[in-house]
Structure 1
Amino acid sequence: MIAAAPGRPRSALRRALKALAWLTLALVVGSVIAVALALQGAPRWPAAAEVSVADIARARDFLRRNDPRQPAPGPLRTLVTSEREANLLLGQLARRAAAGATARVALGAGSARVQASLPLPHSAVTAWLNIDATLRETPGLPAVDSLTVGRLPVPGWVATRLLRVLAERARQSTPEGALALSMVRQVRLQPARLEVSYAWGEDSLRRVLGTLLPPDEQARLTAYAQALSGAMQAHAAAGSGSKALPLEQLLTSLFTLASQRSAGGNDPLAENRAALLTLALQATGRQLSDLVPAIQAAPQPQHMPITLSGRDDFAQHFLISAVLALEGGGPLADAIGVYKEVADLRHGSGFSFNDIAADRAGARLGLLARRDPAALQRRLAQGVRASDVMPDVSDLPEFLGAREFRQAYGGVGAPPYRRMLADIERRLDALPLLRPAAP
């Protein structure tokens, strides 16, 4: 019998360790190369065109056509949207996800190309994920045919598995994801047209509203409703004789609470959103229970108008635009403000440039509430005057009829109209609180 050479086990072990070291090095180098290929220093896909007045009209018609509260035959419903409408929605979702993010889709027969530029969060250097994906229609949710992240191509089968993993994670970690995945049955892709078939049951509206405002958000809104109710009771007890409450006083009261709650560990952006939404609901005569029926125990402040510069319409314009700007960015708030004035021009009280000024002032405050939430809380908690958030616009034209507006300003977008908007921006720039930050 021949004995094994004592050096062979050690030699085999050395070879195995060496192979493992090389494999580890290859994986590390491969990962570094993959990251280098995937990340880029600038966004590749530009932002879509700004939201226009016509877009807002289309969005309103879209909501009317697809109102889930309306009765419909059968348990399945179909949401139909044009490519333009889909891109508007994608753009707003991207802006809400991260500053500077963009997204767009091009629809074809049974396919869609989705492109997005997303800034890498919490990065010490400027880095972007530029995503280019081709989706294919299936009997259910779309599948991924191809995916490129930066300069890194990802095989379709890998991307499809990754999409399934992300969908399952969304189902488990977010109520919005779980609700959407439980409702959507099929997505049909057609040239310039997107159709989404979804299940709608008797409790679906309650589930959607509950998802949009989960319990922690409902508790947060309840706290601000209590603060608003207290501020109104104090104003009434002071015996000033005024039946209206100046917005500047409420901004100080509610953002003092926001600053205190943020100092206690809450998210400053979420606190700002709740404060502005509570004020907007009160200014427009709505209640929290109108937004989410589940909030029945929340205090309902007494009916008391909120004014800005002595006018309740200014407060309404200001607060609605602030909420819209905080949620979707300035362009959306601006377009909705102009749409409101165009509608008044045709059917209501006429076009008013001072309403546009209130819209723009509110939009600037809403953007500040998003970009530097804690700093805005501290500033408003110190106390503000009406002139800090709204310039003097008593000399601006208002209540213009359609013919008068066209003769004097040429319509929305004409040079005389743009000059009026530039004058409004100069007045806003003169307010230190609303002045844009230096580049």
Structure 2
Amino acid sequence: MRFLASLLALLLVPLLAAALLVAAALQAAPLVSREATISPASVAEARGLLARNDPRQLRRGDERTALIPATLIDEALNHLASRNLRGRGAFVLVHDAAEVSFSVAAPGVPGPRYLNLRMLLKTVDGLPRVASASIGALPIPSALAEWLIASAIDHSGLDGDWRLARQAFRRLLFASPSGMVVVSYVWDPGLLDRARAMVFSPPQMVRIEAAQRSLVSLLESYPPRSHVPLATILAPLLARSAEHAPAQDRAALLVLAAYLSERSLSTLLPQASGWPRPRQVNLTLMGRSDSAQHFAISAALAAWAGEPAANAIGVYKEIDDSRGGSGFSFGDLAADRAGTRFGELVAADSPRLQHALRSGLGDADVAPSLAGLPEYLSEAEFKRRYGGTGSAAYRRLMTEIEGRLDALPLYR
């Protein structure tokens, strides 16, 4: 009997230890609690950062230093955590270090329980190192944290990409007074090739080429420069096989967005330079070519990058237009939101969308009426009427747009 008791104790000790570790790791409240949004200001920062470090203007071996706003990294990290982990993330500079935090709801655990991860990064000889880390109330040795990060990179199949990035990387500095992360690097064109390969796998390239050829075929039946309702193109373009259905639809939206933005796909995918090009016709939505463009680009963004990115880019574009372009347009924002919600249905492989595609689509099925929505507002006029995008007046108008969308059966 004593032997059995001792054996039972030996078996229970590791189980109790594991239970205590789980209890210490899980917490009742999230460490990071925020909305899964991207601000128009971050879109502007990202655009400026890309313009200053345009890979098309760099040659192999060029040495560059990029100043990356910590707020941009923070929103990008939160977006990735929201989209890929169904959690939240945060990045903040603390003196000469950076704190990275994640919160993910623990699945299958009674009550609200969160897995909270916190890491403090410092630079050693110009390289980022883990100074401290914890999961919940459980501290993790720095060496173990770095081993876990290396193992995650290895198991994700990104070890080759990581090695290439490390070879290009020279020095990193957390400049908290300026709110910047300073990255010095030596350009290697292989970085851009690897980035494309990460986003566009060989099967995806096959789907994108197939979608391009489908668009070419669809538009051949219309006279050049003729006006063609966008809705009449959407359904046949999104026709697909049962296998890989959402992925094929995403490819179709990407091709359509590139066509309507009047940018060649070869700018993004060099292989596309040898593909046939669609005939130039004037695709319209609610009788307007600009609405078709806004709808298609937002749909592709939502399907590929998610709703927050699509919304932020749409608002940023209107703010930018108010400063010297065609002016701020709530009509354009309505087309953006319609495209975003359409792209979300595509990404979710919505049965409601598939039924609508089989039944036939018209403009009024995919976009709301634009009647009465203020347009062509200069920056001064926009500020006079609405103050900014956070004002009550602005929110009321956006609520009206959402209400018009909610009234459409496709978006209910």
Q: Give the TM-score of the pair, scaled to structure 2.
A: 0.86
- Identify the residue that residue 146 of structure 1 maps to in structure 2: 132
Pairing 1:205–2:183 present: no
Structure 1 residues 39, 84: CA separation in 2 closer, same or farther (over 3 Å shift)? same
What is the aligned length? 407
What is the match of residue 8 of structure 1? none
SS at match of 1:197: strand
Alignment partners' CA distance in 2, 1:318 and 1:34: 49
Secondary structure of the corresponding residue to residue 433 of structure 1: helix
Q: Are 2:90 and 1:90 aligned?
A: no
Question: SS in structure 2 opposite 1:303?
Answer: coil
After superposition, the C-alpha distances for 1:187-224 in whole angstroms (9 at most, x for unaligned) are: 32231321223331354434433443232221121121
Instruction: Report the identity percentage.
Output: 38
Structure 1, 161-170 or 346-355: larger mean CA deviation: 161-170
Q: Which runs of 5+ in 1 are unaligned?
A: 1-13
Indicate how the Cα distance of structure 1 residues 119 and 302 shifts in structure 2: closer, same or farther if over 3 A, else same.
Answer: farther
Query: How far apart, CA to CA, are the structure 2 residues paired with 1:410 and 1:195?
Result: 34
Tell me what 1:160 maps to. Answer: 146
The offset of 1:431, in angstroms, is: 1.0
Structure 2 gaps, min length 5: none
Query: Is 1:386 matched with 2:363?
Result: yes
| C-alpha separation in 1, matches of 2:225 and 2:274 | 29
Task: Give runs of aligned pairs for residues 263-274 of structure 1, distance below 5 A.
Answer: 263-264=242-243, 266=244, 268-274=245-251
**Mapped contact 1:96–1:327 kept (Cα < 8 A):** no
* 1: CA distance, partners of 2:383 / 2:198: 45
8 Å CA contact 2:231, 2:285 repeated in 1: yes
Amino acid of the structure 2 residue aligned with 1:150? G
Matched, 1:340 2:317: yes
CA distance, structure 2, for counterparts of residue 352 and residue 231 of structure 1: 31
Q: TM-score of the superposition, structure 1-length normalised?
A: 0.81
| Rounded Cα–Cα distance in structure 2 between residues aligned with 1:179 and 1:96 | 26
Q: Look up the equivalent residue of 1:117 and give its one-letter code.
A: S
Contact 2:164 2:191 in 1 (8 A): no
* Superposition CA RMSD, Å: 3.1
Look up the match of 2:279: 302
Match of 1:249 among 229, 232, 238: 232
Aligned partner of 1:354 among 331, 337, 340: 331
How far 1:39 sits from its partner (Å)?
3.5
1:62 aligns with 2:45: no
Matching residue of 1:137: 123
C-alpha deviation, 1:316, in angstroms: 1.0
Q: Looking at CA atoms only, which structure, 1 or 2, has the larger radius of gyration?
A: 1
Q: Give me the whole-angstrom Cα distance separating, in 2, the residues matched to 1:227 and 1:73.
A: 37
Spell out, residue by residue over 1:323-369, the C-alpha distance to the aligned partner (whole angstroms, 9 max, x if none).
Answer: 22334433332232222122222211222211111111112222333
Checking the alignment, whether the CA contact within 8 Å between 1:80 and 1:193 is kept in structure 2 is yes
Aligned to 2:299: 322
Contact 2:285–2:363 (CA<8 Å) still a contact in 1? yes
What is the identity, as a one-letter code, of the residue corresponding to 1:291?
Answer: L
Aligned partner letter, 1:253: P
The whole-number CA distance in structure 2 between the counterparts of 1:429 and 1:181 is 48
Matching residue of 2:182:
195
Residue 363 to residue 275, structure 1, CA distance change in 2 (3 Å): same
Residues 172-191 of structure 1 aligned to structure 2 (within 5 Å): 172-173=157-158, 176-177=161-162, 179-191=164-176
- Is the CA contact 1:255–1:377 (under 8 Å) kept in the aligned structure 2? no
